[in-house]
Chains A and B, each alone.
Chain A
Amino acid sequence: MSDAPATDERVKEISGLRKALIRPELGGIVGTVAVFTFFLLFAFDSGMFNAQGIMNWTVVSAQFVIIAVGACLLMISGEFDLSVGSMIGFAGMMIAIFGVTMEFPMWMAILITFVICVGFGALNGYIVVKTGLPSFIVTLATLFILRGFTIFIPQTLERKTIIGGIREAAEGDWLAPLFGAKIFGGFFQMLGDAGIIDVFERGTRQGQPVVDGIPMLIVWALFLVLIGHILLTRTKFGNWIFAAGGDPESARNSGVPVDRVKITMFMFTAFCATVFATCQVMEFGSAGADRGLLKEFEAIIAVVIGGALLTGGYGSVIGAALGALIFGVVQQGLFFAGVESSLFRVFLGVILLFAVILNTYIRRIITGER
């Protein structure tokens, strides 16, 4: 040790490379490389890597990303939300009920839905912090309650469980395109004209490219990752999130408003689920009572693949996004690779397990265990 004031004997010296590697998302990065290598080897000429194929797994991954960001921050703060899937179904249905059945203007339907759903998120958080019950139990109850409403309300009002006509109701609306539009259409038309991507051969859209823009869903996914990442790594609130999940007692003692952090994270998770639902109903034009089934587990899986700890206090938004990407690519890639449908889940399970083990292993190597 030199006597230079820049050094301090209490701080361990580590090499720059090692420092660059000690991050929760490393496992996600390695997993992403591995998964892409794998599918480039086994499904290269199956259409998986033409424009349409890329758009397909990107959209699926973006869906996972949107809910994974919320689930990730919540999990780092030490809580779970099992009601995400039901929330997706519920939010979509609310938009349909307000926008189609009650004929409110679409922007109003969307805003009311956001308020209701984020309110449910706040309620989840409030019950968890006030009762001290595990969030697992509280949100499991919310899962059933919301799914029940999602079936009951349209059944009572419309006598059916799928409500269509959302796209028509959203026409000319100022807010709906923020969730349902596609951007850079001109650029893709150019690519189509240049023969770089396929164009429609027949029908009303002959000559138009098969991929006609970047859906707002993907933009939302990127936006949420960016916001989540900055919040977690660059702000005081981000430190509070880690503290609340790592050791709530000592966090409280050092003045971190743990309850407020947790409730805010529940609200954010609900917000993400509502974004997902809004994009979905705008794209497909209908809301169904069975939308979003099991999506909460998909979100949690993505977060865990991305290197977060189930027990809270450790994780990264970038990692969760990579986890979502791995999950989306594996899920759609297996179809491209022509995997027998009845074995599909076996592969999904094996690959996911493999990704998580790899992740844990890498984390142990690097951090000397957490």
Chain B
Amino acid sequence: MTSLMKKLVLATAIVAAPFVTATSAAAEGEKYILVSHAPDSDSWWNTIKNGIALAGEQMDVEVEYRNPPTGDLADMARIIEQAAASQPNGIITTLADFDVLSGPIRNAVDQGINVIIMNSGTPEQVREVGALMFVGQPEYDAGLAAGLRAKGDGIGSFVCVNHVISNTVVGERCRGFADGLGVDLGDSMIDSGQDPSEIKNRVIAYLTANPETDAILTLGPTSADPTIAAVKEMGIAGDIYFGTFDLGTEIVNAIKEGIINWGIDQQPFLQAYLPVVVLTNYDRYGVLPGNNINSGPGFVTKDALGKVEEFAGQYR
């Protein structure tokens, strides 16, 4: 029996060996781990992966991307604890929920690991967890700017298609937009879920029930792509005022076709690329920028699509 066990253990090792050796291609330099809050299904984060990979290549450091597969923030906290235990030179992470993540991040900082917060979090929170800086787009302000812009275009009511209803930070975009328009958010935020066909049908259902809606605001490619299909199907593409956060291939095409009036680019590439560069230079030469870096908002309209188109979904 014990020989059987030995055989099994050996077999396990043999079966698994090619997997492990194939994946741990270690660079010699510093090691940085980026932890995101995105579920696997969120395509927007692909740009982030490409961004850190490029920075890793250019700075000659080892970078790793990790995320909780279902987007469960409690799982993300465990991943940050895990990242700290593996003693990297720095951790780049989002602050999607301060209550859940502040403890693990604070622990990493107190162990002497440098932390940069990217994408979500407020400057106050970033200071409180002891991170070096924040690189990202202040969400409420971006929403407010978009709302003011829409108000200038004569918009009075809107529907916000929220595919990450449980992420309070992203919800701030809708709140900001409503405040910019000067209307109450009320029931104009719908929980669309993550499934493309469900999103499409919920948008159709909402617009059918509320035909007087002036504008649509989507919060990313996940909700924008099916919404584009929805307005096409309803025959109101190009008629209804349509703005979106974040860019993707479909969104860029829709901007070109005049279906989407503008996209707000928070330039995720910078959110991934800059922290790696900043951390590496801080580790090597002790230099550090004196303030947080705002990666957005940048309005992308029909007039400025060249570079965006070229790199949509890859670096934009």
23 A-B contacts, Cβ less than 8 Å apart? Answer: A34-B13, A47-B86, A53-B85, A57-B82, A151-B191, A160-B168, A161-B168, A162-B97, A162-B99, A162-B166, A164-B97, A201-B111, A283-B103, A289-B166, A291-B73, A293-B70, A337-B20, A337-B24, A339-B19, A341-B65, A341-B67, A345-B40, A354-B15
Q: A293's contact among B72, B110, B191, by CB below 8 Å, is which?
A: B72
* Central interface residue in B69, B86, B130, by most chain A CB within 10 Å: B86
Q: Which of B251-277 contact A (CB under 8 A)?
A: none
B78 contacts A by Cβ under 8 Å: yes
- Is the Cβ of A341 less than 8 Å from the Cβ of B5? no
Known contacts A198-B111, A285-B99, A343-B23; A37/B13 CB under 8 A? yes
Q: Which of B75-125 contact A (CB under 8 A)?
A: 77-79, 81-87, 97-100, 103, 106-107, 109-112
Q: A164 to nearest B CB, angstroms?
A: 4
B64 contacts A by Cβ under 8 Å: yes
Chain B positions within 8 Å of A201 at CB level = 110-112
Chain B 37-56 interface 0/1 with A at a Cβ cutoff of 8 Å (1 = within): 00010000000010000000
Compute the total of residue contacts between A and B using a CB distance below 8 Å. 165
| Shortest Cβ-Cβ A-B pairs, 6 listed | A286-B99, A203-B110, A52-B85, A47-B86, A293-B70, A290-B166
Q: B97's contact among A21, A48, A206, A286, by CB below 8 Å, is which?
A: A286
Known contacts A17-B1, A37-B9, A161-B165; A290/B71 CB under 8 A? yes
A-B contact sample (20 more), CB < 8 A, given A164-B98, A285-B100: A37-B9, A37-B13, A38-B12, A50-B85, A56-B78, A151-B166, A159-B185, A162-B97, A162-B99, A165-B99, A166-B99, A200-B107, A210-B107, A288-B73, A290-B73, A335-B83, A337-B20, A339-B19, A351-B16, A358-B12
- Is the Cβ of A339 less than 8 Å from the Cβ of B69? no
- Is the Cβ of B168 less than 8 Å from the Cβ of A338? no
Chain B positions within 8 Å of A290 at CB level = 70-73, 166
Q: B260 to nearest A CB, angstroms?
A: 27
Chain B 151-191 interface 0/1 with A at a Cβ cutoff of 8 Å (1 = within): 00000000000000111100100000000000001000001
Known contacts A280-B74, A347-B19, A358-B8; A336/B82 CB under 8 A? yes
- Is the Cβ of B1 less than 8 Å from the Cβ of A344? no
B302 contacts A by Cβ under 8 Å: no
B26 contacts A by Cβ under 8 Å: yes
Of the four ranges (under 10, 10 to 19, 20 to 34, 35 or more), the interface on chain A belongs to 35 or more
Chain B 186-213 interface 0/1 with A at a Cβ cutoff of 8 Å (1 = within): 0000010000000000000000000000
- Is the Cβ of B66 less than 8 Å from the Cβ of A341? yes
Q: B79's contact among A286, A335, A358, by CB below 8 Å, is which?
A: A335
Report Cα–Cα, A210/B111, bound state, in Å. 8
Q: A60's contact among B65, B78, B84, B191, by CB below 8 Å, is which?
A: B78
Chain B positions within 8 Å of A17 at CB level = 1
- Is the Cβ of B1 less than 8 Å from the Cβ of A162? no
B interface secondary structure, majority: helix
- Is the Cβ of A344 less than 8 Å from the Cβ of B69? yes
Chain B positions within 8 Å of A341 at CB level = 49, 64-67
- A residues near B (Cβ < 8 Å) are 17, 21, 30, 33-35, 37-38, 41-42, 46-48, 50, 52-53, 55-57, 59-60, 151, 155, 159-162, 164-167, 198, 200-206, 210, 280, 283-286, 288-294, 332, 335-345, 347, 350-351, 354, 358, 365
Total residues of chain B contacting the partner, CB 8 A: 55
From B33, which residue of chain A is reached at the shortest CB distance?
A: A335
- Is the Cβ of A200 less than 8 Å from the Cβ of B171? no
Chain A positions within 8 Å of B167 at CB level = 161-162
Q: A343 to nearest B CB, angstroms?
A: 7
- Is the Cβ of A164 less than 8 Å from the Cβ of B12? no
- Is the Cβ of B5 less than 8 Å from the Cβ of A33? yes
Report Cα–Cα, A210/B100, bound state, in Å. 18
